[in-house]
Structure 1
Amino acid sequence: MGHGSSRSASSANILSSDELILVENIFKSMSRSSGSIKREDIFKHWSNHLDQILLQFIVRFLCHEPGNKKLTAINGENFGRLYVYSVRGNKEERTNLIFHGYCEDEEKITIPIDTFLQYVQATINSYLRLLKNCNNINYQSWSSIGCTVNTRRINERSKSLCDDLLKYDDTLTIEQIENWYGQSSIFNQIQSHVIQCLFLISQKKNDKNITINKLNHLNLLPLCKGLENIPLFPSILGLGDVLFLNLSLPAELRNEWRFLFSNQIHGESFSTMLGRISMQGSTIIIIQDSDDHIFGCFASDNWSLSPNFVGNQTCFLFKLDPDILTFSSTGFNNHYQYLNLHQQTMPNGLLMGGQLNYPGLWLDCDYGSGKSSPSCTTFQNYKQLSGKEIFKIKHLEVWGVGPVPEIEENVRASGKSILDQDNAAKVMLEIKI
């Protein structure tokens, strides 16, 4: 197969017929049917869609030729290989992308860790830029409420993704990066989506209607629902935060986030919050304390008043600022979710992880205060979430993730709240009010 074709042996064997047509058509268009693409034309076509660091890596990869030859034009073989390695590639092929994109003058067997971090950051930034440029529906649903890209937190997120690599020296070997790719499913997904979006958005204008439909179905961001009438919602989340929290959820819950509660909108009331998050299925709670630490939890089960713990091993705690960390289940105990209110013999409040007196995250029923203990056996590698063990709430918001559970529809239609599950709690609340 000649250099004028973008069908490499691997692409022909792996890509679907639609993908082969897509890659062939874009190569033909960008090369003006000449059989090769000029280096400067790649920059011309893709500089608006990609972070410059990632674009440089891609161009150097496209211009790489075995034997340390530096190509002045890009052949179809390398063009097809870019798509295959990025979208379908195994850990060896994805690592090949990086090392051949790092330096085209000579073969390298190591790469500076700072350069690798820049590559990871640039890939994440490029994905969000591509969603913006193609007017992706899910992206627009967040940007329309004032949710923006927080560059600093994306940089911190990149370090968090590469945490296992930071223990090495200043340089990384091929084997170390291959091992990292084998364990980094989240980054693999983002990298795959970057190239898929890039190729789709590069189609000719007469293909745009089909392209838009495909791009809107190619989402790692969820659809934001429930804030259509609040154009400047004071969320503490950046688009990168939403992206990575969403990718940490069970796959069936990633399509949409439903706004349920914010103290900035609904007031500082524990009972109001419970009334709004009851019968809503899985939820994400995000908190900013008075020290400006941002943290929260994913709760797998519906919130309901009970002296018993509920939830499962998909629950997790997380930190977003000043550190970015995720704490998944240890399986040591099942102390995932607890909620009680106005009981004399049991703690009253909301808990995620740990013991009732030593919680991973505790929100007191007297709204405004909470607790995060220095240790928590429910979640792996746990670190205290808040700035101080006993913290004051500055901002709190809750999102329902995934669809509303159908099993709850009849109950929800009756207008009952979470407090109706416990008559004593209802009476006590009325007396208190």
Structure 2
Amino acid sequence: MECPAMGNAESGVSPDYMARLSSDEQAQIQYRFEYLCQSRNTRAEKSLGFKAFQEECLKCHLTGSMCRRIFRTMQSKNPTGKANPPSPEITEEQFTMFIVHVLRGTEEEKGLLVTSMIFPNRETVRGEEVQEFLEDLICGVIYVLLKNNTIRGWRMGNTRNCKLESVYLAEQLLSQLRSASGSTLEEEEERLNYYYPQDSIMDWLCRTPLVSVLLRITVTVGLSVLKNSTEQQQDVRSLFPTCKMGNWADCRSLLDFPSIIFLNFHLPAEMQHRWCLLFSTQVYGMSFIQLCTHLVDKGPTLLVLRDTNGFIFGGFASPNWEVKPHFQGDNKCFLFTIFPKFGIYTSTGRNEQYMYLNDGIQEDPKGLGMGGDLGCFGLWIDQDFRNGHSKAKKLCTTYNSPRLSAREDFTIDSMEVWQVGKIPEQLQVKKECPGPRPEAQEVKVQMED
């Protein structure tokens, strides 16, 4: 429940923290805390126990695990600076300080806060504990946004694999953590068993902004405070684009919510607000001609493939695709994997061989490619549309990407193409994307068993 503008709010919180909030934000936070207390008939005490806190937050669809993490972290906040034992209830000052640190905290404050949410009262946290925290955070964000009808135009028809994909995304985020010496731990078992100091957590949060965005959304929507702010709406848009295409309701996308979060967050900001499904083999079959028809002159696009071994991968093309027998594109392009692991592979700057699409010149390779060189691409789809290849690192100097597919030479199982952002005006023929079923309303996001 949001409050109306209430002017300046008086509080016992240190002015140093309150100075980071506008008067309207202060009023909204105060109103929300008083509402929580009032709903449990404890307004006179101006403090809140865990049971009452959880009951109210569950109404906003905050998950139980995140309720516990948030409440115990609020308990650890000490506005007075005195060495008092923690109280079983939280005060308005603790509630406000927690929100300030989440939304406007310094690097040190955010590092201490996240460390406390992972495991309280410890100066180091184990990699396995960080992994569990990330899984809670990712699943919590998806759940709270779904239940609050914040995800626009998407719906999850089958959520059985969402938890699994959340694990994979958590693993990718954990892989960005560095040891106390600043080195990256390559082996998964080593990452899970390593104890990371607070300095490592602070550095990680700076280099991995997706974690902070997930936390901000969890707090603003899950606690129903400041959730209509411009910053919060920008955070949501960076994770979930609006799905404007309404003619593909029966299609089963290769993507699910964790992979949409991962890919959209890595797109340029001006392309994050809108996705539109242009092509799917479920509708158009395994046709290179149909692919080109629905790909060329459509602006920036995401290509998503699944090979017959179940690996899911693809590429982002920042500029418009054109059919011509030489490379095109710019350094915003990248390759990616989303199953069995998440990964983004951006331009190395070593060459400009970002994109290639040829359907006519006989002496040159005919098909679609990204990165690498003629006949040796980071991602290649042959004109026959059945076969492709993915060359690794030394052979794909454009993106320094590993092999994306299960095997270097792969067979395509299915493919889809998403237009992202706004179609450039010079290319825009219709305001809405085309589609074969005008009666449908939304795109289902489903993962197959």
Q: How does 1:252-401 map to 2 (within 5 A)?
A: 252-375=270-393, 376-380=396-400, 382-401=401-420
Q: Distance in 1 between matches of 2:32 and 2:371?
A: 51
Q: Does 1:81 align with 2:97?
A: yes
Of the structure 1 ranges 115-124 and 65-74, higher mean CA displacement relative to structure 2 is found in 65-74
Q: Distance in 2 between matches of 1:149 and 1:6?
A: 46
C-alpha root-mean-square deviation of aligned residues, in Å? Answer: 2.5
C-alpha distance 303-101 of structure 1, shift in aligned 2 (>3 A): closer
Partner of 1:25: 31
Asked whether the equivalents of residues 57 and 101 of structure 1 are also in contact (C-alpha less than 8 Å), the reply is yes
Q: Distance in 2 between matches of 1:409 and 1:112?
A: 51
How far 1:38 sits from its partner (Å)?
Answer: 1.9
C-alpha distance 146-215 of structure 1, shift in aligned 2 (>3 A): farther
Q: Distance in 2 between matches of 1:270 and 1:103?
A: 52
Partner of 2:243: 224
1:78-100 Cα deviation digits (max 9, x unpaired): 10111111122232111211333
How far 1:147 sits from its partner (Å)?
Answer: 7.6
Asked whether the equivalents of residues 60 and 103 of structure 1 are also in contact (C-alpha less than 8 Å), the reply is no
C-alpha distance 256-213 of structure 1, shift in aligned 2 (>3 A): same
Partner of 1:430: none
Partner of 2:112: 96
Q: Distance in 2 between matches of 1:197 and 1:378?
A: 40
Amino acid at match of 1:224: C
Asked whether the equivalents of residues 123 and 190 of structure 1 are also in contact (C-alpha less than 8 Å), the reply is yes
How far 1:307 sits from its partner (Å)?
Answer: 2.0
How far 1:122 sits from its partner (Å)?
Answer: 1.3
Q: Does 1:59 align with 2:71?
A: yes
Query: Any stretches of 5+ residues in structure 2 without a counterpart?
Result: 1-9, 178-183, 186-190, 432-449
Amino acid at match of 2:101: Y
C-alpha distance 146-303 of structure 1, shift in aligned 2 (>3 A): farther
SS at match of 1:62: helix
Q: Does 1:164 align with 2:176?
A: yes
C-alpha distance 299-102 of structure 1, shift in aligned 2 (>3 A): closer
Amino acid at match of 2:50: R
Amino acid at match of 1:40: K
Amino acid at match of 1:295: F
SS at match of 1:319: strand
Q: Distance in 2 between matches of 1:150 and 1:233?
A: 18
How far 1:252 sits from its partner (Å)?
Answer: 0.2
Partner of 2:153: 141
C-alpha distance 93-186 of structure 1, shift in aligned 2 (>3 A): same
SS at match of 1:69: coil
Partner of 1:182: 206
SS at match of 1:125: helix
- By relative contact order (CA 8 Å, sep 6+), the higher-ranking structure is 2
How far 1:26 sits from its partner (Å)?
Answer: 0.6
How far 1:46 sits from its partner (Å)?
Answer: 1.6
C-alpha distance 9-159 of structure 1, shift in aligned 2 (>3 A): farther
SS at match of 2:141: helix
Partner of 2:49: 38
Asked whether the equivalents of residues 123 and 194 of structure 1 are also in contact (C-alpha less than 8 Å), the reply is yes
Q: Does 1:405 align with 2:417?
A: no
Q: Distance in 2 between matches of 1:6 and 1:343?
A: 74
1:290-312 Cα deviation digits (max 9, x unpaired): 11111000011111011221111
Match for residue 129 of structure 1 among 136, 139, 143: 143
Q: How does 1:204-243 map to 2 (within 5 A)?
A: 218-219=236-237, 220-226=239-245, 228-243=246-261
Asked whether the equivalents of residues 353 and 361 of structure 1 are also in contact (C-alpha less than 8 Å), the reply is yes
Of the structure 1 ranges 282-291 and 312-321, higher mean CA displacement relative to structure 2 is found in 312-321
Q: Distance in 1 between matches of 2:158 and 2:273?
A: 20
Of the structure 1 ranges 50-59 and 77-86, higher mean CA displacement relative to structure 2 is found in 50-59
Partner of 1:427: none
Asked whether the equivalents of residues 285 and 397 of structure 1 are also in contact (C-alpha less than 8 Å), the reply is yes
Instruction: Compute the TM-score of the two structures, normalised by the length of structure 1.
Output: 0.85
Query: Any stretches of 5+ residues in structure 1 without a counterpart?
Result: 204-209, 414-433
C-alpha distance 394-329 of structure 1, shift in aligned 2 (>3 A): same
How far 1:391 sits from its partner (Å)?
Answer: 0.7
SS at match of 1:302: coil
Q: Distance in 2 between matches of 1:8 and 1:212?
A: 23
Identity of aligned residues (%): 28
Asked whether the equivalents of residues 22 and 199 of structure 1 are also in contact (C-alpha less than 8 Å), the reply is no
Q: Distance in 2 between matches of 1:61 and 1:330?
A: 40
Q: Distance in 1 between matches of 2:114 and 2:277?
A: 39
Asked whether the equivalents of residues 354 and 370 of structure 2 are also in contact (C-alpha less than 8 Å), the reply is yes
Q: Distance in 2 between matches of 1:263 and 1:28?
A: 54
1:60-83 Cα deviation digits (max 9, x unpaired): 111124636221111111101111
How far 1:270 sits from its partner (Å)?
Answer: 0.4
How far 1:230 sits from its partner (Å)?
Answer: 3.1
How far 1:140 sits from its partner (Å)?
Answer: 4.5
Asked whether the equivalents of residues 370 and 378 of structure 2 are also in contact (C-alpha less than 8 Å), the reply is yes
Asked whether the equivalents of residues 73 and 116 of structure 2 are also in contact (C-alpha less than 8 Å), the reply is yes
Q: Distance in 2 between matches of 1:19 and 1:125?
A: 27
How far 1:245 sits from its partner (Å)?
Answer: 0.3
1:340-381 Cα deviation digits (max 9, x unpaired): 11211111111100011210000111111111113311113x
Aligned length: 396
Q: Distance in 2 between matches of 1:409 and 1:72?
A: 59
Partner of 2:436: none
SS at match of 1:70: coil
Asked whether the equivalents of residues 295 and 321 of structure 2 are also in contact (C-alpha less than 8 Å), the reply is yes
Q: Distance in 2 between matches of 1:253 and 1:102?
A: 33
